[in-house]
Amino acid sequence: MAIRQIRKIGDSILKKTSKEIKEMTPRISTLIDDMLETMYNANGVGLAAPQVGILKRLVVIDVSENGDQPIVLINPVIEEAQGEQTGDEGCLSVPGKAGTVTRPNYVKVRALDRNMQPIELEGSELLARAFCHEIDHLDGVLYVEKVEGELKSSDSEA
């Protein structure tokens, strides 16, 4: 495993649309491990492949307190969204900043796991926010485009 370099806002790759993953390969398996290591190393709760320069529809998330509940989503799609939450959000590609974003309070996501098996996951609150934020990355969207009001300085990143 290796820590990968996280692309920062202003890097044009963050605005591009990622491509679906058709099959698991040793390269993608290594990418998943590296993305998890990179996310934990940066104290983030989520990371999308374009953030490490790879335009593939792959995200990793861990919103658990101890960082021991990794979620790997390949080709994730939001199937259902309910309710609303408004709160602060950050991004490892936008270091030192946070901003208020309104997201669904509950989402259901369909994806493939790292064995390319279909999975369906539900999340509310922080996990719902993470699903939406990370899936946005796959479509070249950064949360800063959705911020209500000003971007603030912050030490907490997601």
The verdict on 14 binding Ni ion (CB under 5 A) reads: no
37: annotated active-site residue: no
Residue 6 touching Ni ion (CB under 5 A): no
Q: Which of 80, 134, 148, 157 is catalytic?
A: 134
Determine, following the binding rule CB under 5 A, whether residue 52 of this chain makes contact with Ni ion: no
Kindly tell me which of 106 and 157 has the beta carbon lying closer to Ni ion. 157
Give the CA-trace dihedral at 131, 137, 142, 146, to 10 degrees: -40
Q: Is the dihedral of CA 128, 130, 132, 135 positive or negative?
A: negative
Query: Cβ closer to Ni ion: 9 or 116?
Result: 9
The reply to whether 73 sits near Ni ion by the rule CB under 5 A is no
Binding to Ni ion, residues 107-126 (CB under 5 A): none
CA 12 to chain centre: 17
Our finding on whether 98 is near Ni ion (CB under 5 A) is no
Q: If residue 112 lies in a helix (H) or strand (E), which one and from where to where?
A: strand 106-112
**Structure-token pair, residue 94:** 């936008």
- Contact with Ni ion (CB under 5 A) among 39, 91, 109, 126: 91
Q: Which residues contact 41 (CB under 8 A, 6 or more apart)?
A: 3
Catalytic residue positions?
134
Binding positions for Ni ion, rule: CB under 5 A: 91
